[in-house]
Each structure stands twice: as structure tokens, then as C-alpha cells.
Amino acid sequence: MAQTHTGKLQKILTIFLCFWVAFFEGFDLQAPGIAAKGIAATFGLDQVQMGYVFSLGVFGMLFGAFFGGRIADYLGQKKVLMLSIGIFGVFMSLTAIAPSIEILYAARFFTGLGLGAAMPTMISVVGDEATEANRGKLNSLMYCGLPVGAIFVAGLAILLPEIQWQTLFLIGGLTPLALIPFMAFILKDKPKPVAVAQVSTEVVPGMAQVLFKNQQYKNTLPLWVGFFFTLMINYILISWLPNLLMEQGLQKQQAFMVMLVFQVGAVTGTLALGYLLDRLKLWQMAVIIYSGLFVALSLLFTTTSIPMLVLAGVMGGIFSTGGQSILYGISPIFYSGTGKVTGVGSAISLGRLGAMTGPLLTGKILALGLGTTGILMASLPAVVISAVAVTALSRYKSAHKLNPDLKK
């Protein structure tokens, strides 16, 4: 009985700790959008250069997710997660005191590198604690930390409108360093099976074997496509929405309020869609998520009515961030054993590539004078492609439920 209670407490503490890691990712993702005008004024940046500020962090996440996931399969999840949070905290703090644009760019890249390595490792940690019956619930409880972190930043900007952008980055950089001692105490690497441990050459399978062997490509490729385009849309909204709304004529506080309700929608969507994931087929989830996102984008980029923008902001948060959390939730079931973090990391890397592409593409569209209409025309096809890709994964999820041994 005592062992059962200890195991349950371990699971609760692990999910709680991963929630806070996600919180600081949300903090970092939202902070550049809130601080964009201050950063641009400090360094004299134009819209294209601000696109680089947004995208370099995501570029670092791409490399962090890809290589961090692979390294975690060798060294263990605990060590990689602790190291990645250390890198993130140090370089986010450096962002606040960067003396030049070159140092700012480098700090954003390495901040993203740390975050990128943390996410697939964290998802794998939560996946180890989950079953098919509670996978959606546990993932949503962990991942809702991301929009909560973003809400915290947006709330600070509303309550303290004169807060310096450097202060935001110092708060977001120094605080997560305090998590590292708790990680050392709470996190436990999942024991490797004895039979596997005895065959050292098979401990970590080759990357091609993990991603493509035995028709695994039928799952890997749609997962990559879904991640790429879903995160592309989400990061356009997270990075550029306050600026786009101000260019449409909204006051600074009104734009931040829409961004705040966007993140409230993100929390709601993460929890609600996680609940539905345990009960609906994946193709049904795809219809709900991408239909809602299509409507939200159409409203956000075609109206100047405050009530409609608030509604669109809530919907955008529910279906973009909520949809992203669903992809995070299902990705561990496609890979198994010692190659799991590699598989999850590869999918997140493709997502980060989309997340990097979105803000850069938006900056180019705005520089060409195409405005929100051009952004809408670039975003809607991505919604449709994502919907098709995620729907294609539904057959695997159904088969996995019928036969849990498929991933062993």
C-alpha cells in the first residue's frame, strides 16, 4: 500500500514539475511578442529584423528538439531535462542584458536550444506515466502550463504597462533555474529492461529504424506534416498578434487584452481537447480542431470589431495551442522503447521548423505591404493540410487501442 502511494505521489510531482517547465516555455514564447516594440526601439530594428528575433529562438528549438531527444535516449531523460533548463535560464537572462543585436540574436538562439531539448524529453517523461485511458488528461495537465505562462506575461504587461522589456526576460530567465534542484530530487529515469540492457548494440536503434522501418514512415510523415503546419500557425499568432492588432487600429492595452483572452482560450482548449482525446477518434478531433481554427483565423484577420476580436482570440487559443497540445499528446504512442525520445524529438523538430517559418513569413508579408489579408491567405491552406495529416493518423491510433502490443 505504501509503495502504491509513493508511486502515485511520484507521478503527481512529475506532472507538476513538467507543468512548470511548460510554464516557462509559455513565458518565453509570449515575452518577445509583448516586448516587441521595446526591443525594436532599443536596437532600432525593422519588421524583418524583428522576424529574426522571433524566429531565431524557434530555430534553436528545432536543433534542441532534434539532438536533445537523441541525446536523452543515450544519457537519460533526467540529465537532459536538467541541462536544457539550465541553458534556457542562462541565455534568457542574457537576452535582457544583450549589449548588441548580435548578442541578442545569439541569446535567443541558445534560449530556444534549451527549450527545444526540454520539450520532447518532458513529453516522453509524461508519456511514461500515462496509459491509453488517461494519456489526454495527463498531457493536458502538463501542457496547460504553456498558456498559463503566456497569460502570466500578458497579465504583467496589462497590470504594469510601464514595465521594461528587460525585466520580463530577467524574470523568465532566473526563476526556472530554481527548478533544477527539484528535478534532481523528483525525476527518475525509467529503468531499461534487463534483456535490452544486456545487448548494448541494440540499446538505441538507428534513427532511420526508429522513424521509417517496418512502414513506420506511414506514421512519421503525417505526424511531421501536422506538427509543421500547426505550429507555423500557432507561432504566427503568438509572435505577431499584438503588433497586427495595433496596426489594425487597436490601442496597446486592447491588443494585449485580446492576446490575454487568446491564452485563456489556450488553457481552456488544452484541458478540454485533452479530455476529448481520451474519448473521441483522432479524425473527429481533427475536424473539431481545424474547423475551429479556420473560423478563428478568418475572424482575426478580417474584422476590427473588439467583441468579434475577443471571440476570435478565444477561439484561436482553443484550437491553435489546444491543437498543438493534442499533437504532443499523441506523438509518444507512435514510438517505443529506447527510440521513443528520438521519434518524439524528430516530430517536434519539424514543428519547430514550422514555428520558425511562420514568424519569418509574416515579417516578409508585412514588409511587402500585403497586410493581414496576405497572412490569412498563407495560413488557411496550412489549416487544411494539417487537418488531412492528422486525420491520416487516426487509423494507427485506433489500431493501437485494439492492440497495445503494436508499439512494443
* Residue from 120, 129, 122 nearest 210 by CA: 120
Do the beta carbons of residue 105 and residue 57 sit within 8 Å? no
Query: Helices marked H in 278-370 — which ranges?
Result: 282-300, 306-316, 322-330, 340-367
Euclidean distance between the first and the last CA atom of the chain, given in angstroms as a whole number = 29
Residue entry with cell 487568446: 262
Do the beta carbons of residue 278 and residue 286 sit within 8 Å? no
Residues 6+ apart with CB under 8 A from 206: none
pLDDT score at 406? 45
pLDDT score at 229? 96
- For 149, the grid coordinates are 505562462
pLDDT tens for residues 120-144? 787 777 777 766 667 677 777 887 8
Residue 23's φ and ψ, nearest 5 degrees, are -55, -45
Per-position b or e across 167-189, b if 16+ CB within 10 A of its CB: ebbbbbbebbeebeeebeebbee
For the chain, helix, strand, coil in percent to 5 are: 85, 0, 15
The SS3 call for residue 408 is: coil
* Residue from 377, 357, 229, 388 nearest 297 by CA: 377
pLDDT score at 194? 47
- Cα(31)–Cα(33) distance, rounded to whole angstroms? 5
pLDDT score at 200? 44
Residues 6+ apart with CB under 8 A from 221: none
Cα torsion for 33, 35, 39, 45, to the nearest 10°? Answer: 30
**Amino acid letter, residue 13:** L
pLDDT score at 81? 87
- For 316, the grid coordinates are 484561436
Burial class of residue 207 in the structure, from the number of CB atoms within 10 Å of its CB (0-12 exposed, 13-18 middle, 19+ buried): middle
- Cα(281)–Cα(12) distance, rounded to whole angstroms? 27
For the chain, which domains are there? 2-184+203-407 (1.20.1250.20)
**Amino acid letter, residue 26:** G
pLDDT score at 385? 95
pLDDT score at 353? 86
Do the beta carbons of residue 14 and residue 186 sit within 8 Å? yes
Q: For residue 31, what are the CA distances in angstroms to 92, 107, 165? A: 10, 14, 8
Spans of the chain below 70 pLDDT:
1-7, 130-133, 135, 189-204, 337-338, 396-408
- Cα(62)–Cα(141) distance, rounded to whole angstroms? 24
